[in-house]
Structure 1
Amino acid sequence: AVMVAPEASRLDVLINSVALTATPIAASASPASLSIHVPSGVLRRGANTIEFRATQRHRTDCSIASTYELWTRLTSDSVTLTFEGENLGQIVDVTDLAAIGVDAKGTTTVRVLAPDFINPDATNALMRLIQQLAIALRVAELRIELVDELTAPPTPGTLDLVVAPFGGLPKQFSALREQAAGAGVASMDSPVDGNPTLVVSGPGWPDIMHSIEAMAPSMAGADRPRIDLGRTLVRVDGHSETSLANLAVTTTEFNGRRYADQFQFDLPHDFYANRYGQMELVLDAAYSADVLPGSEIDFYVNGQIASATPLLRTDGGLLRDTIIRIPMKSLQPGRNVVDVAVNLLTESDQVCSPGWTGTAPTRFVFSASSALRMPMFAQATTEPDLRTLAANGMPYADRSNVQLVISDDKNARIAAMVMLARMAAAAGKVLPVTTVPEAALSPSDDAIVIKPLSEMSSVTMTRVGLSTGASEASGDERVLTQFGSGRPGGPLAPAINWVLDTAGLSMDDLRVLPGRQSLYAPPPGSITMTQLRQPEGGLWTAVASPDANSLISGTPRMIQLDTWRKVAGWVSSLNGDQLVVQQPFAVHVATSDPFNLVNLRLVAANWFSGHILSFTGLLTLAAVLLMFATSPVLTQIGRRK
């Protein structure tokens, strides 16, 4: 930004926590290039973390408001690593598949050569192998292309995959035919004139499947985080305390006006405490006597303000083991992000002497010895819940078998592979899917249906909550009711609305029985995910579009990072750039251990917090029962005349 003062602002670059450079930020007129030498010994085998840290000072202003005028942007397509040496780009082991990396757009592509692609056994093998590759490549978004031959020139971020029985191997792999004719084989090669190539073959598809399963442990890479996460997320369980140092937070001495930091952690897939309770941040920090009242420390959880702690002392202060209570209503299963923002008002900034902006002494210290203290929380699964599927691949990742229904169209099958790869990357494990004909679906078992609505039977559409016609909330009804607030009307409306606003409630909070779930009609050109629990017990998830072209083009847009992290509810429909999410009326809650009384009490606390009238009715019933129970005793006490 133009307002960044280059003499007092700098960009720090670190690799694996080793500082490589601290260069002035001086590129307000046009982008500037920077070349940094990486000393020997800094890089290591496996995952490496590169960090960019910007310290920015304003040219003329010393107010907190002026800090929002400061920004530094890195053009991602020009940030590259350049290596020198022999055998560069040679990947000969599946444990190093993550080194394939991404292209200039941040995409990893798998080019699939499978002559027998439509064969059901081939489909099952490919569905499993693609999931393993998504985990091994450490990418959230995987692009898959179906090719007829491997003739394209080598391109960055691309893996060629050949899967076929020995008789169907292309001629350039004739040397493997004899070996594959006797037993299953998996070979990794990096030809000079081509992309890294993984070949999986054998006498038949059962042998190929066995080879794929045998590769799984080598492709797991549990110690290698996904590219979009940067670091492996630390799992935080109930009744635990985790130091922020374990969450990649470093102790910082700060002399500016607005300090910002962030840390992430992972919660179990069955986290069920979003309506009650508080977690605690045990804060270790200090600030100087220059800091004025009105300064504050703000914490945001998943983008929602969760706590604002003012700094009231005027003679400086030491915040040692200071407890900051943060409501857990913004927490969710899977990845959670906590942003820390410290806004500092100081006497020296009010004077704002020339040159002061870059020479101010330390005024705030944020210590990595601070800790996140999580109380015991309820653990229960809720169905339907697409958010849990998107975050952890659950509950399918823990099942022994999941039915999979896909289209007969080749490109639509590629879309199904892309979607399964995204779910596997979220789960960190392979979803055990088996393709079945749509007519053979068992409603008592879990299922994933990835098909266009034009190829889906009416029975299946109804079971996954979809329709091709206008739903009750569409058409003229939707247009006529678009300005409605969903609040009660009539002569008592002001009084009712006042009570609701005062108590912070909505009409949904006062619902006793769940509303009727209507079918959802996806708009033309959209892609929709739905999830419903079947009366027979199975949990069915559908990924559908009105036609095959919409499914093929919509799947890559649905799995994009920003969109995928917003998937939730029982319906998530992406139309253009707009994601529509509908929450279910009826939710099935289940615990893994029904005899754990402590957990059952916590589950009940969370459930009743969202069902106020049910809780009120239970209290009323308890009072009536207590009255009848004590009545015989009270009638025997005292004189009767």
Structure 2
Amino acid sequence: MKRLLGACLFLGLSTLSSYAQVAPFDMSPERPAEPAPAEKPAAPFSPLPGQQAPAAPAPAPKLAPAPIRADGQWRRYIVPQDSLSFSGENGDKTWAVFITADQAAAPATLTLAYQSSLVVAPEWSTMTVSINNARIISEPVQSPEGRKTLTAKIPAGVLKEGLNTFRINTSLRHRTDCTVQSTYELWTEVDPSKTYLSFTGDNPRRLKKLDDIRAIGVDGTGRTAFNIVVPAIDRTQATAPMLHTAQGLAILANMPNQTVTVSSTLPAEQSPGSLTVLLGTDEELQSLAPWAGDSRTAPGVAFVDDPATGSSILRFRGADWQSVTNAVAGFVDPLKRDLSVPRTFISTQTWRSPDVPLFISSSRVKLSELGVDTKNFTGRRLRTEFAIGVPSDFYANEYGKATILLDAAYSEDVLPGSQINIYVNDNIAATLPITTSGGEILRHFPISFTMRHFRPGVNLITIEAALTTKTDSICAPGSNASSTTRFALFDSSEFVIPSFARIGTLPNLAGLSGTSFPYNRSGKPLPVVMNNAGEKSLSAAATLLARMAVAAGRPMEVDPRATANSAMNSNALFIGAIPQIESSVLTQTGISENTRTIWSAVKGNVEPAPEENTQSDFNEWRERLSGRGWRGQISSFDDWLNRTFNISLASLMTSDESDAPYTPEPAATLLVAQRPNPNGDGVWTVATSATDDNLIEGVRALTRQDHWPELQGHISIYKAGTDEMQMVPVGNYTFVQSQPLSFSNMRLVIANWLSGNILWFSLILVVLASLLGIATSRMLANLGRRI
């Protein structure tokens, strides 16, 4: 009896002990019966054809499904990038996630993991997560020693079929410091691999209609992968439909980091953020996966479920390749925008919401329409940003100025010496110092800034207010917790862009990255030259074309049977390892033939050693020796010209060495070059590398959202060893008429050209002054009195 009482007492104490433990943050109204198990790799399933493989064809490889936990929950990652960080006192990120009807109807849970800096004061700092304006998580920021996981059940009805707006907002305050400089020590990082939606049941992971392609989403690193399986990959007639399919998938999913893999066999697993696509005739698909090609009356394009894993696979089929091509056309053609229809926005809402308006002429828009809310700020450094787009033929970077009509107010506590800064693509563009005390209301106060840093496509503009106050100079304990508003930015502020010159320039890789110029303006099939292309070359070509299609906002017709000779008088794209690129193409695009020798010893499976930062060392020595010798005097004079007149000695040169044949370093993984074609009536673009392995690695890195805008100049180089982009600026370029001829546009074109060519402007000014003097002298000689 005593033993029985002792056992009962021990059991009761152990139960109370379990309740006494601190539980992780959970917004759900009730705790589940038992904690969720740790994440484990998905277990492999049986071969795809079923338990017993048919006698004729070989069994298909095992295809593992997307991760489903033991509790029956399926995870979907939601952060569309490999890192998500918030720096400073305020942070705000908004993007959209596409949800299917089954996902919207299923019970869902949001999980988020983050870490913050040590100096963040948790009692004054918060993180808020909302979905469709419904607050899901609101939590003090307190995780300096490691990642903290937050979990919250999403109330029924919050998620909707279609695009859902996700927003993360942070408000951080320093523990001890009150200076503007101390705000740079504040940060919070969200872990994309630990941030996801969990759905209960099996239906949420299935895709049923073509629009559900937009719900593929991303993996734990923010990437989206399309695996196009073509059993007859060696067939010539299969290449064009495959490249068209890649473009259609990329436009419909519209994710920021998309890759395409082309192969003749099924992938080994169905990972998160990926979609397997089958492309082939009924006979070819039957030999690869009998369950995918067994219906001769099925639609040409539809989702099918893998019977072994339940994963949804997109299938393009037909009795022959002409039928398959027609099925692909039926999928891609509705995504095409007629060239006569002007493009009014750039679709970015899956990684930056709202979509970015595309300004093709003078415009004036309120910041509220660009996603900026009214902000009442109590801290020291406020940052808010918005994005605008300009077309590929934007030509006002030398003289044009945009304006922000600022509606704002600052309190009497703000001291003179505070300032409002404007950044364009992370480059300082304008500074407005606050020179008066006592507070002030700014009503449509104009802040003009140069458009020098504008580039085709999306441009990020940041407004920053750096405030110093009397209270901060004292920095009394608890002053960081003050709720008194110091600065207010109103969403009635406006962004104004004036009329700007529009004319295309070639070569221009920035136009290619911005809007796929000039390929986006042609109604003819684009020659895509791939000599002896294997699976890796085809994958690189499909990935690059998919990225170009997203930038263009429309899929492009391609001709993969083209050759260099057939593309002499047209725009063309050359893709392949350097042994497959003809010497005439290298010469025409400004690549030295010595590149073959330099890259000949490069192995595709050897990663280049990280390079020393030569440029920073050079700059350091330049600083130390500044002003010494005649070279130092010239360098100092060049710096003075740049600071005082915003010009450089390079702008006074009549020739440019950047047009000389370019030889890359051995460490270069990928080289992209652009030059006019031999006939001068089009442009050739080359993407090449030492090996096929380097080619696919380089293209995948280039098309990432963080690297793609860095594609500039007439040559761009990606180095995998340092994960950086370098570019060779354009020397000589040609104009391409993109707009109907008009006096007003030509006047703006000439103004921008003269602003960028100071020497020619000076010579013309001298010639005109001389002619005026001669004419005046002769006129006075005829009219004057003779003695």
So what's the TM-score if we normalise by structure 1?
0.92
5 Å-filtered alignment, 1:246-285, equals: 246-285=369-408
In 2, are the aligned partners of 1:569 and 1:584 still within 8 Å (CA)?
Answer: yes
In 2, are the aligned partners of 1:532 and 1:541 still within 8 Å (CA)?
Answer: yes
Pairing 1:501–2:602 present: no
In 1, are the aligned partners of 2:346 and 2:553 still within 8 Å (CA)?
Answer: no
Pairing 1:447–2:572 present: yes
SS of residue paired to 2:770:
helix
Pairing 1:550–2:694 present: yes
Change beyond 3 A, Cα 1:573–1:263: same
Q: Equivalent residue for 1:120?
A: 236
User: In the TM superposition, what whole-angstrom CA distance separates every residue of 1:237-270 from its partner, at most 9, and x where no partner exists?
Assistant: 4321011111110111111111111111111111
Amino acid at match of 1:178: R
5 Å-filtered alignment, 1:302-313, equals: 302-313=425-436
Q: Distance in 2 between matches of 1:288 and 1:211?
A: 64
Q: How much does 1:541 deviate?
A: 0.2
Q: How much does 1:556 deviate?
A: 1.5
In 1, are the aligned partners of 2:292 and 2:304 still within 8 Å (CA)?
Answer: no
Q: Equivalent residue for 2:297?
A: 179
Q: Distance in 2 between matches of 1:495 and 1:189?
A: 69
Amino acid at match of 2:244: R
Q: How much does 1:522 deviate?
A: 3.1
Change beyond 3 A, Cα 1:199–1:24: same
In 2, are the aligned partners of 1:294 and 1:310 still within 8 Å (CA)?
Answer: yes
So what's the TM-score if we normalise by structure 2?
0.75
Q: How much does 1:194 deviate?
A: 4.0
Pairing 1:527–2:670 present: yes
In 1, are the aligned partners of 2:357 and 2:388 still within 8 Å (CA)?
Answer: yes
User: In the TM superposition, what whole-angstrom CA distance separates every residue of 1:437-489 from its partner, at most 9, and x where no partner exists?
Assistant: 43533221010000111122211221122234169x99xxxx9xx8998x999
SS of residue paired to 2:771:
helix
Pairing 1:59–2:175 present: yes
Q: Distance in 2 between matches of 1:559 and 1:488?
A: 42
Pairing 1:200–2:316 present: yes
Change beyond 3 A, Cα 1:218–1:92: farther
Pairing 1:604–2:729 present: no
Q: Equivalent residue for 2:555?
A: 430
Q: Using the TM superposition, name which of 332-341 and 141-150 deviates more.
A: 141-150
Q: Distance in 2 between matches of 1:321 and 1:28?
A: 41
In 2, are the aligned partners of 1:406 and 1:450 still within 8 Å (CA)?
Answer: yes
Q: How much does 1:559 deviate?
A: 1.9
In 2, are the aligned partners of 1:531 and 1:539 still within 8 Å (CA)?
Answer: yes
Q: Using the TM superposition, name which of 28-37 and 284-293 deviates more.
A: 28-37
Q: Using the TM superposition, name which of 360-369 and 516-525 deviates more.
A: 516-525
SS of residue paired to 2:169:
strand
Q: Distance in 2 between matches of 1:534 and 1:153?
A: 43
SS of residue paired to 2:696:
helix
> Which residue, 529, 532, 543 being the options, matches 1:405?
529
Q: Using the TM superposition, name which of 324-333 and 544-553 deviates more.
A: 544-553
- Alignment identity in percent? 30
Q: How much does 1:271 deviate?
A: 0.9
Pairing 1:30–2:172 present: no
Q: Using the TM superposition, name which of 218-227 and 543-552 deviates more.
A: 218-227
- Structure 1, gaps ≥5 residues long: none
Q: How much does 1:496 deviate?
A: 9.1
Q: Equivalent residue for 1:140?
A: 256
Change beyond 3 A, Cα 1:65–1:633: closer
Pairing 1:640–2:786 present: yes
Change beyond 3 A, Cα 1:104–1:116: same
Change beyond 3 A, Cα 1:495–1:363: closer
Pairing 1:344–2:344 present: no
Q: Equivalent residue for 2:119?
A: 3
Pairing 1:238–2:361 present: yes
In 1, are the aligned partners of 2:530 and 2:580 still within 8 Å (CA)?
Answer: no
In 1, are the aligned partners of 2:346 and 2:358 still within 8 Å (CA)?
Answer: no
Change beyond 3 A, Cα 1:86–1:436: closer
Q: Equivalent residue for 2:67?
A: none
Q: Distance in 2 between matches of 1:21 and 1:139?
A: 25
SS of residue paired to 1:329:
coil
Q: Distance in 2 between matches of 1:581 and 1:491?
A: 29
Q: Distance in 2 between matches of 1:161 and 1:570?
A: 35
Q: Using the TM superposition, name which of 161-170 and 629-638 deviates more.
A: 629-638
Pairing 1:459–2:605 present: no
In 1, are the aligned partners of 2:675 and 2:684 still within 8 Å (CA)?
Answer: yes
Q: Distance in 1 between matches of 2:521 and 2:453?
A: 26
Change beyond 3 A, Cα 1:488–1:310: closer
Q: How much does 1:492 deviate?
A: 9.7
SS of residue paired to 1:373:
strand
Change beyond 3 A, Cα 1:555–1:593: closer
Q: Distance in 1 between matches of 2:261 and 2:635?
A: 57
5 Å-filtered alignment, 1:96-175, equals: 96-150=212-266, 152-170=268-286, 171-173=289-291
Amino acid at match of 2:499: M
Amino acid at match of 1:15: I
Q: Distance in 2 between matches of 1:248 and 1:191?
A: 42
CA RMSD across the alignment: 2.9
Change beyond 3 A, Cα 1:118–1:264: same
Change beyond 3 A, Cα 1:427–1:176: farther
Q: How much does 1:608 deviate?
A: 0.7
Q: How much does 1:425 deviate?
A: 1.9
Q: Equivalent residue for 2:739?
A: 593
- Structure 2, gaps ≥5 residues long: 1-116, 338-344, 600-613
Give the number of the structure whose alpha-carbon radius of gyration is greater.
Answer: 2
> Which residue, 276, 281, 303 being the options, matches 1:188?
303
Amino acid at match of 2:687: V
> Which residue, 75, 78, 85 being the options, matches 2:191?
75
Q: Distance in 1 between matches of 2:585 and 2:634?
A: 45
Pairing 1:366–2:489 present: yes
Count of residue pairs the alignment pairs up: 632
Q: How much does 1:102 deviate?
A: 1.2
Q: Distance in 2 between matches of 1:574 and 1:14?
A: 37
Q: Distance in 1 between matches of 2:174 and 2:486?
A: 17
User: In the TM superposition, what whole-angstrom CA distance separates every residue of 1:524-574 from its partner, at most 9, and x where no partner exists?
Assistant: 352100000124112000000123232133222222222222110010011
In 2, are the aligned partners of 1:169 and 1:177 still within 8 Å (CA)?
Answer: no
In 2, are the aligned partners of 1:46 and 1:224 still within 8 Å (CA)?
Answer: no
Amino acid at match of 1:509: S
